[in-house]
Amino acid sequence: MSGVPADGFTSLDVAMTPPTPLLRVTGISKHYATPVLSDIALDLHAGEVLALTGENGAGKSTLSKIICGLVQPTTGTLTLTGQPFQPASRSHAERLGVRMVMQELSLIPTLSVAENLLLDKLPHRFGMIDQRALYEQAKRQMAVIGLDDIDPGVLVGSLGIGHQQMVEIARNLVGDCKLLILDEPTAMLTDREIAHLFEQIARLKARGVGIVYISHRLDELQRIADRVAVLRDGRLVDVRPMADVTQDELVQRMVGHVVDEGAQRPRRVAGAVRLEVRGLHCGEQVQAVDLSLHAGEIMGLAGLVGAGRTELLRLIFGADRKDGGELFLDRKAQPVTIDSPMTAIRHGIGLVTEDRKAQGLLLNQSIRVNTTLANLAAVNRRGWLNYAEEHDVTRRLTDILRVKYGSVEQVVGELSGGNQQKVVFARWLHRDCNVLLLDEPTRGVDIGARADLYQELDRLAADGKAMLMVSSDLRELMTVCDRIGVMSAGRLVGVFERGEWTEQILLEACFSGYANLTPTPQSAAASL
């Protein structure tokens, strides 16, 4: 990348950079009870994409919050285009052209795109909103990020999540935006939406906007970033041109030791059928799905967002009402009736939900309360809870999963994403289900915690449990699973054994259901 100065290797040594950097971070530290960031020195140049990566809790979000004025550093200084930069608040930083797009979208779904874009300065005349001016200004703003295809009058809530993300970014590009921080912008996006986002990032670069791009997804970083900065335990361990570093090296830097994610696993011997699904259907979302899940195997479920994977899991679990279909457990001739999560759990089926905050955890309750929730029967005597037993159970399970916490009475909402997910896992370990449905179990989970979860899945498989795991990360499925089913447009279009699949084969299957929608499937696959 020509925009990167030749001293990319030595950019830790900031004094040697000849042009004035857009942003210079010098000696930034942040201490709460313990140091969260220590002595960070970093430059960002105009028109550059700097990837910021590291495990959860490594300090990425603290650093970005300092830059955009949400958090004040304990020590250290910032300069913006050579001027001292001490943002006292987010709005202060925004006035100076520094903006951050958070992971959670802050759009109002019941208002139009235009209204969302101009929320704090709606054009008005005598107190009435000037619709024409509103739409014109909105269109101009949307054009900047290539959102020309959307009607500014459309309600935000009716847009797909990808477009909502683009609207959120467009909202941050008003005025004199010099520096844009994107925090995990692709977590909710399909591959096609990601490609679109990257095109727009390239446009912004060309306009001279400096971009800090925070992500776990290393393959994305390689596509988009000029340089990469790796944080570990609050320290900057490496800054380099992206081209000089492999994904394996990055992972090693992040965790400090080698994680062998791609290792060939022994193929497990599957046992008897635990769960058989016949003709399960529900509207357009899930159509006539047949599958069988064996004891001691992990079956993956791949597909594009909206292919019906989450819906399938929820139907099996009884969380949503099905239109038809039968479930058989343990090769019994009679189908079981599962019409609610309560009956599913009684039959030994558990579901780790996609959205742990909204559907999994009681965020303001303790680790202990969250761990024992699905199996309070085991920790009470005639309705009276046994706190000591709850405490012990929680300690034992969270130790197995290597949850990092101060005390089991700590509120779950204070834990990092990875640790929160481990608590959800602990709950289902406590319940001891024979069939475990997992929906994106590693979303927002750092690599170290992921490895712990994979290890636990292996242990469960060895224990004879059957698992069905949805993931949007194909490589994860290829690493973890014994078989991979692919859903496309509501149908299970194929099931592949370990050894039969390649990334190409799986991807083609993912797109196959949409073949008549996208006339040239090859080009769609290529755009990935």
Partner 1 sequence: MQSSSQTISVTPINQHASVNRWRSALGGYIGLIATLAAMVVLFGSLSKYFLTADTFITIANDIPALAIMAVGMTYVLVIAGIDLSIGSVMALGAAITAIALQQWQWGVLAAALLGLMVGLGCGLVTGMVSVGWRLPSFIVSLGMLEIARGSAYIATDSRTQYIGSNVEWLSAPIAGGISPAFILALVIVIVAQIVLSRTVFGRYMIGIGTNEEAMRLAGVDPRPVKVVVFALLGVLASLAGLIQTSRLEAADPNMGVGMELQVIAAVVIGGTSLMGGRGSVINTFFGVLIIAVLEAGLAQVGASDPTKRIITGCVIVAAVVLDMIRERRRTRHA
Among 9, 203, 406, 527, binds partner 1 (CB under 8 A): 406
Residue 374 Cβ vs partner 1, minimum distance, rounded to whole Å: 4
The footprint of partner 1 on residues 316-335 (CB under 8 A) is 317, 319
Q: Which stretch binds partner 1 (CB under 8 A): 293-301, 328-336, 406-414, 483-491?
A: 406-414
Among 151, 219, 339, 399, binds partner 1 (CB under 8 A): 399
Using an 8 Å Cβ cutoff, are 450 and 418 in contact? yes
By C-beta, is 140 or 321 nearer to partner 1?
Answer: 321
By C-beta, is 33 or 128 nearer to partner 1?
Answer: 33
By C-beta, is 119 or 362 nearer to partner 1?
Answer: 362
Residue 399 Cβ vs partner 1, minimum distance, rounded to whole Å: 5
Residue 468 Cβ vs partner 1, minimum distance, rounded to whole Å: 16
- 179-183/210-214 β-pairing: parallel
Which phi and psi angles does 172 have, rounded to 5°?
-90, 0
The footprint of partner 1 on residues 408-447 (CB under 8 A) is 409-411, 414, 427, 431
Q: How far is CA 468 from the centre of its chain?
A: 19
The footprint of partner 1 on residues 61-120 (CB under 8 A) is none
Among 10, 91, 110, 407, binds partner 1 (CB under 8 A): 407
Report the DSSP beta bridge partners of residue 294. 273
CA atoms within a 13 Å half-sphere pointing along the CA-CB vector of 363: 9
Q: What is the CA radius of gyration of the chain?
A: 25
Angle between helices 161-172 and 191-206 (to 10 degrees): 20
By C-beta, is 173 or 379 nearer to partner 1?
Answer: 379
Using an 8 Å Cβ cutoff, are 511 and 527 in contact? no
Task: Give the 3-state secondary structure of residue 471.
Answer: coil
Contact characters 356-395, partner 1, x per CB under 8 A: --xxxxxxxx---x---xx-x---x--xxx-x----x--x
As a 3-state breakdown, the chain gives helix, strand, coil percent values, each rounded to 5, of: 40, 25, 40
Biggest distance spanned by C-alpha atoms of the chain? 76
**Residue 402 engages partner 1 in binding (rule: CB under 8 A):** no
Using an 8 Å Cβ cutoff, are 271 and 259 in contact? no
Compute how many residues bind partner 1; rule: CB under 8 A.
39
Other beta carbons within 10 angstroms of residue 128's beta carbon come to 7
Report the DSSP beta bridge partners of residue 486. 302, 494
By C-beta, is 106 or 364 nearer to partner 1?
Answer: 364
Binding site for partner 1 (CB under 8 A): 317, 319, 340-342, 344-346, 351, 353, 358-365, 369, 373-374, 376, 380, 383-385, 387, 392, 395-396, 399, 406-407, 409-411, 414, 427, 431
